[in-house]
Structure 1
Amino acid sequence: MFDSDAPHSEAPRSEARDPDALFGLEQPAAEGVGFAELARLPLAELMSPDWADALAPVEGKLRDVLDVLAAEVAEGHLLLPSPSNVLRAFRQPLAGVRVLIVGQDPYPTPGHAVGLSFAVDGATRPIPRSLANIYKELNADLGLPPRVHGDLSRWSAQGVLLLNRVLTVRAGAAASHRNKGWAAVTTAAIAAVVNRRSADGTPAPLVVILWGKDAASVTPLLGSAPVIASAHPSPLSASRGFYGSRPFSRANNLLLEQGDGTVDWELPPLP
């Protein structure tokens, strides 16, 4: 089930980064970078240091995927999101993750995918219908006003990991990169989130939100992490259990039970 319209589908920074680094946390990644170049860069230049450590065991698989993507571009295919945003979810430190929201594929519409599941660029109008439905439930759940934009970076900055199961797609071809190798990378990422430990050895605070059957397929990876599961927010399925599921207030209550405060889910009127 991709995170567009039909189902099939700041936590504190852990350390200072070089402001000139290609994927520094302080600034957007440089435009014009290709997949072939990404495949040659050290992991620490592609993501936060603790994510680089966590994903080191699958570094070879990640580079294999990037090589496959470079070959597709060389054949003339437009891939989404842009190379500079493909690993965007891993720019925020792994240590700061508090809530994991699993998507499936990026939006296949050019200009929509930005590397965070369900999010779009702040200038995109109208926003995708799935995201509009997420805002409707946010309003019903917490009374927060729906927004005209789809910039969810404020959630990301508070430790909400917006992670697609598959991180790229061919423009106009949903699910086109399902078998390119991304599953091994994102499986390792989900395992890294779930297996973190606090200083006393107990599991680090975490809530996992799963929308739809495809997202629910990661359940075996989640161990004892609290899970909030419902139908997907797509217009085709939102009325079958997404509406009324109250994921935002439930996530905050579960975080409070773990002694980790709450997420402020309100987004600014404009990005």
Structure 2
Amino acid sequence: MASQPDLFAPSVSPVAEATPIPEAWADLPFFAEDWPRIAEALARDPRAILPPHERRFQALALTPPEAVRVVILGQDPYPTPGHAMGLAFSVNPDVRPLPKSLANVFREMKEDTGDSLPNGDLSGWARQGVLLLNTHLSVPAGVIGGHAKLGWEALTGQVLARVSERATAFVLWGRPAQAQARHIRPGDHLIHESAHPSPLSASRGFFGSRPFSKVNGWLAARGEAGIDWGASG
């Protein structure tokens, strides 16, 4: 039987060269210390990898550090081909039906604020300073958690540490996201924790948690404009 490729063998990878790194975040140690190895692992993985490599750092590209006001932390990109587009919980505008987790997010948003969106593209949030970051930025098609051990958490931790240098609202849905709270520096933050919007857990504390109004209430108390949750991409 042919041996499986070593996904962690070090070498120079064309994936790293083809994946744009957002300039505003490029000084994070992750990009020099961890990204070359992860890029090589991705290049050696024979499976289809989501999202496309040019969208891998889309969350960071749309929301530079100085613009971040809110962080919504997800887990993996969607493993369904055509769904993952580089922003946590977001999908391309033409995706129908919506992933069930996103449909639950929209249900809670409608009940909380009355806002709605015409499709599942959350880029409009990102452009207002909502960093839609996944804990792992890649997933093999159809394999939930398939890249959970690649080392993406190094980036997650560094991003959370960077943005928490000033007051920020953190929305942590589910235990994996809440486990990353250890990277948040002490400060005058809003840390909102609840169950994940997945159909498996939404009824156990996500519905009725009112994250959208709580974020806007916190921003208003600081004299800042709220997030227009109904702003489309």
- Whether the TM-score (by the shorter chain) exceeds 0.5 is yes
Where does residue 8 of structure 1 map in the other structure? none
Query: Is 2:48 aligned against 1:78?
Result: yes
Q: Which residue of 2 aligns with 1:169?
A: 139
Instruction: Find the counterpart in structure 2 of residue 208 from structure 1.
Output: 170
Q: 2:218 matched to which residue of 1?
A: 254
The one-letter amino acid paired with 1:71 is R
| Alignment CA distance shift 1:37-1:186 (3 Å) | same
Shift of 1:146: 5.2
SS at match of 2:34: helix
Residue identity matched to 2:155: V
Q: Aligned pair 1:52/2:26, yes or no? A: yes
Encode CA deviations 1:16-57: one digit per residue, 9 max, x unaligned: xxxxxxxxxxxxxxxxxxx9334237x9x520x32112x145
Alignment partner of 2:70 out of 96, 99, 110: 99
- The answer for the alignment partner of 1:137 in structure 2 is 108
Q: Report the TM-score, using the length of structure 2 for normalisation.
A: 0.88
Instruction: Identify unmatched segments of 5+ residues in structure 2.
Output: 1-11
What residue in structure 2 maps to residue 217 of structure 1?
179
Structure 1 ranges of 4+ moved more than 6 A: none
User: Normalization by structure 1: what TM-score?
Assistant: 0.76
2:14 aligned to which of 34, 37, 42: 37
Residue of structure 2 in register with 1:112 after alignment: 83
Secondary structure of 2:172's counterpart equals: strand
Q: Which runs of 5+ in 1 are unaligned?
A: 1-34, 196-202
Return the offset for 1:94: 1.1
The 8 Å contact of residues 231 and 238 in structure 1, kept in 2 or not, is answered as yes
Matched-pair identity in %: 42
Q: Tell me the C-alpha RMSD between the 2 structures.
A: 1.8
SS in 2 for 1:39: helix
Aligned residue in 1 for 2:95: 124
Contact 2:116/2:229 (8 A) holds in 1: no
**Which residue identity lines up with residue 187 of structure 1 in the other structure?**
G
- Contact map agreement 2:135 2:153 (CA 8 A) in 1: yes
Matches within 5 A, 1:182-201: 182-195=152-165
Identify if the C-alpha distance between structure 1 residues 253 and 229 changes in structure 2 by more than 3 Å, giving closer, same or farther: same
2:231 is equivalent to residue 241 of structure 1: no
Could you tell me how far apart the structure 1 residues matched to 2:79 and 2:99 are?
Answer: 11
Q: Secondary structure at the match of 2:59?
A: helix
Question: In the TM superposition, what whole-angstrom CA distance separates every residue of 1:120-162 from its partner, at most 9, and x where no partner exists?
Answer: 1111111101100100111100111354x21000000000000
**SS in structure 1 of the partner of residue 26 of structure 2:** helix
